């Protein structure tokens, strides 16, 4: 099985969350590629069984600019066989809390086998590690039963 | 190596022999010329753009609805409304000159530019409080209300925490005092506004004084970007100047933010005590939740009990509420994804 975490981060919050998810997946014995989106080789995308996408939200609930190509790639390539999860960090004082997670969610639901989404307020807190674990379980669990 | 207590020198406007891209936030070598394409922290350009895209002005908001509603507010609501208005105005009055003052000592031109924009926005906020007042009460009463804010012992005590730090930097602008000023700026913009915000959004929940709360929402949106910028400023300042990144200074952050938290609770107890529908205990929890967020933004740990947002209705209005349209990636191409949720067979955590 091949898994990847593809993420972008500006303050380090989403990166911290990505690392926690990475550790969670590793501890389940899964081999995971940990890829900042700027280093992504897009041709590799369809070769993964599982992809977790991590994104912060910019401005008014928008996608960060560097995630737009990834978003388009999922729409244009055949990714139906890939199990996906999307996670992100945001600030609930804004009207579209983790808006970019929602945008990915709605698209991934159509173009992939979406298993799970996860939103965290700013830097992950202690109570978030349980949710990270669930996120990993759900991402992997889906595959076992499939 | 930076001496935390060695005064920073006021920077010359131009230093032609130095590079445009500054070698440091403070005490750096910088020509003084700004080319946004060649800056030390490129993410600052995005932040600058976001600040500018938030641009608004008070005069664009028609106060007619609020003028009509004003007469239907209770005497208590009117009193609290005016007190909070002048108290917030006095906070913004401190922030406008302080943000421009800091510019003289920060060597990175991109940061200077952002401080200039923040200072401008604080001036707009200040004006918006005047604009609201001028719509509702005569000048004589406005002045009485400002005098009331100046004389109020609780307001004075709150402001003193900030003033002491800002004045200390004015007197002797050292790196240490710049760091302390930045922490107090987080207190001012990131904590001290929220009892006031709670009151105006509470009125908005009852469909009262919505034009005022529209302005408050714009102000909150700006203040959130300011607090975010200052938190980035602090992180970069401490990273570039490890002499400032000490145990004592980390403790200073916790202690100082806790002072602001206690002041904000005290202020809320005083100003919101007669307002039905705002639970003061809940608000205390809210202030702690808020302070935890500010600490995590600076890269520190939660200081208070970890909790969910207890007053989620205190937030910036959405575009739909403000009748604005989005122009972004999703408008350019016609993407029409249906909103899905966990009922569609995946988990939302």
Chain A residues within 8 A of B346 when measuring between CB atoms: 109, 114-117, 138
**Residues whose CB is less than 8 angstroms from the CB of residue A72 and which lie 6 or more positions away in sequence, other chains included:** none
Task: Work out how many domains chain B is built from and give that number.
Answer: 1
Integer Rg of chain A from CA:
14
B311: three-class secondary structure by DSSP: coil
Chain B closest-CA separation from residue A125 CA (Å):
8
Chain A residues within 8 A of B338 when measuring between CB atoms: 106
Report CA dihedral (B22, B28, B29, B34) to the nearest 10 degrees: 30
Contact indicator for A119, A101 with CB cutoff of 8 Å: yes
The pLDDT assigned to B64 comes to: 95
- Measured distance CA(B308)–CA(B315) in Å, rounded: 14
Q: Is the pLDDT of residue B173 over 60?
A: yes
* B316 Cβ under 8 Å from any chain A Cβ: yes
The pLDDT assigned to A146 comes to: 43
> A15, exposed or middle or buried, with CB in 10 Å at 0-12, 13-18, 19+?
middle
Q: Is the pLDDT of residue B121 over 90?
A: yes
Contact indicator for B149, B87 with CB cutoff of 8 Å: yes
**Residues whose CB is less than 8 angstroms from the CB of residue B14 and which lie 6 or more positions away in sequence, other chains included:** B31, B32, B33
Chain B closest-CA separation from residue A137 CA (Å):
11
Which tens digits make up the pLDDT trace of B3-30? Answer: 899 999 888 888 889 999 999 999 999 9
Distance of CA A124 to the CA centre of its chain: 15
The pLDDT assigned to A144 comes to: 54
- Measured distance CA(A1)–CA(A33) in Å, rounded: 12
- Measured distance CA(B86)–CA(A94) in Å, rounded: 25
Whole-structure pTM value: 0.88
Say whether B189 counts as a known binding-site residue.
Answer: yes
Does residue B121 lie within any of the structural domains? yes
In degrees rounded to 5, what are phi and psi of residue B320? -60, -45
Does residue B60 lie within any of the structural domains? yes
Chain B residues within 8 A of A118 when measuring between CB atoms: 349
**CB contact (8 A) between residue B50 and residue A114:** no
> A81, exposed or middle or buried, with CB in 10 Å at 0-12, 13-18, 19+?
exposed
Report CA dihedral (B325, B327, B333, B334) to the nearest 10 degrees: 0
- Measured distance CA(B248)–CA(B176) in Å, rounded: 11
The pLDDT assigned to A11 comes to: 87
* B46 Cβ under 8 Å from any chain A Cβ: yes
For domain A3-145, give its CATH number from 3.30.450.40, 3.40.1010.10, 2.40.50.220, 3.40.50.360. Answer: 3.40.50.360
- Measured distance CA(B127)–CA(B58) in Å, rounded: 7
**CB contact (8 A) between residue A95 and residue B319:** yes
Which tens digits make up the pLDDT trace of B86-106? Answer: 999 988 888 999 999 999 999
- The beta-strand segments (E) located in A57-96 are 83-90
The pLDDT assigned to A142 comes to: 60
- Supply the range of the domain harboring residue B325: 43-330
What tens-digit pLDDT sequence spans chain A (146 residues)?
899 999 999 888 999 999 999 999 999 889 999 999 999 999 999 999 999 999 999 877 889 999 999 999 999 999 999 999 999 999 998 888 999 999 999 999 999 999 999 999 999 999 999 999 999 999 988 655 44
Specify the CATH number for the domain of residue B326: 1.10.620.20
Which tens digits make up the pLDDT trace of B236-286? Answer: 999 999 999 999 999 999 999 999 999 999 999 999 999 999 999 999 999
Q: Which residue has the tokens 């403070």?
A: B26
Does residue B80 lie within any of the structural domains? yes
Closest CA to A138 of A120, A114, A119: A114
pLDDT interval class at B1 (50, 70, 90): low
ipTM of the shown complex:
0.85
Q: Is the pLDDT of residue B324 over 60?
A: no
Does residue B251 lie within any of the structural domains? yes
Chain A residues within 8 A of B339 when measuring between CB atoms: 102, 106
Which tens digits make up the pLDDT trace of B43-52? Answer: 999 899 999 9
Catalytic residue IDs of B: 129
SS3 content of chain B, % helix, strand, coil (to 5): 65, 0, 35
Which tens digits make up the pLDDT trace of B278-302? Answer: 999 999 999 999 999 999 999 999 9
* Cα-based distances in Å from B187 to B95, B245, B257, B347: 11, 19, 6, 37
**Residues whose CB is less than 8 angstroms from the CB of residue B149 and which lie 6 or more positions away in sequence, other chains included:** B83, B86, B87, B89, B90, B155
* A103 Cβ under 8 Å from any chain B Cβ: yes
The pLDDT assigned to A60 comes to: 79
* Cα-based distances in Å from A59 to A72, B41, B53, B91: 20, 19, 9, 26
Give the residue extent of every domain in chain A: 3-145
* A129 Cβ under 8 Å from any chain B Cβ: no
């Amino acid at each position: 099985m091949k898994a990847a975490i593809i993420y972008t981060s500006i303050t380090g919050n989403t990166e911290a969350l990505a690392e926690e998810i990475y550790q969670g997946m590793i501890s389940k014995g899964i081999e995971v590629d940990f890829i900042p989106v700027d280093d992504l080789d897009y041709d590799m995308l369809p070769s993964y069984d599982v992809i977790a996408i991590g994104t912060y939200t910019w401005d008014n609930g928008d996608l960060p600019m560097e995630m737009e190509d990834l978003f388009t790639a999922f729409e244009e390539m055949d990714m139906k066989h890939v199990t996906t999860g999307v996670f992100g960090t945001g600030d609930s004082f804004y009207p579209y809390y983790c808006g970019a997670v929602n945008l990915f969610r709605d698209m991934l639901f159509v173009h992939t086998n979406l298993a799970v989404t996860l939103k965290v307020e700013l830097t992950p807190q202690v109570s978030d590690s349980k949710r990270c674990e669930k996120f990993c379980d759900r991402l992997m669990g889906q595959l076992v039963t499939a | 190596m930076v001496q935390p207590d060695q005064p920073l020198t006021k920077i010359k406007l131009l230093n032609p022999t130095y590079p445009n891209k500054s070698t440091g936030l403070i005490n750096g070598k910088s020509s003084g010329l700004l080319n946004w394409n060649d800056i030390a922290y490129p993410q600052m350009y995005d932040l600058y753009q976001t600040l500018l895209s938030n641009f608004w002005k008070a005069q664009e908001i028609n106060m007619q609805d609020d003028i009509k509603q004003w007469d239907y507010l209770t005497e208590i609501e009117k009193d609290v409304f005016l007190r909070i208005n002048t108290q917030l105005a006095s906070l913004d009055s401190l922030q406008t000159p302080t943000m421009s003052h800091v510019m003289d000592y920060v060597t990175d031109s991109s940061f200077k530019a952002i401080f200039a924009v923040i200072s401008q926005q604080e001036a707009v906020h200040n004006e918006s409080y005047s604009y609201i007042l001028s719509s509702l009460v005569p000048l004589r009463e406005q002045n009485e209300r400002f005098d009331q804010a100046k004389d109020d012992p609780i307001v004075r005590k709150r402001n003193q925490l900030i003033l002491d730090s800002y004045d200390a930097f004015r007197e002797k602008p050292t790196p240490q005092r710049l760091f302390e000023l930045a922490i107090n700026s987080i207190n001012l913009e990131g904590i001290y506004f929220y009892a006031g915000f709670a009151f105006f959004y509470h009125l908005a929940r009852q469909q009262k004084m919505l034009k005022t709360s529209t302005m408050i929402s714009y102000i909150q949106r700006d203040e959130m970007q300011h607090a975010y910028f200052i938190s980035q400023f602090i992180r970069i300042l401490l990273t570039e100047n490890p002499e400032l990144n000490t145990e004592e200074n980390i403790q200073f952050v916790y202690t100082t933010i806790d002072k602001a938290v206690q002041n904000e609770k005290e202020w809320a107890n005083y100003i919101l005590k007669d307002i039905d529908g705002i639970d003061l205990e809940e608000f205390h929890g809210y202030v702690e939740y808020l302070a935890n967020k500010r600490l995590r933004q600076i890269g520190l740990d939660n200081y208070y009990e970890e909790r969910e947002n207890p007053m989620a209705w205190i937030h910036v209005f959405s575009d739909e509420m403000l009748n604005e349209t989005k122009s972004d990636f999703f408008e350019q191409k016609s993407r029409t994804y249906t909103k899905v949720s966990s009922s569609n067979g995946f988990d939302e955590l």
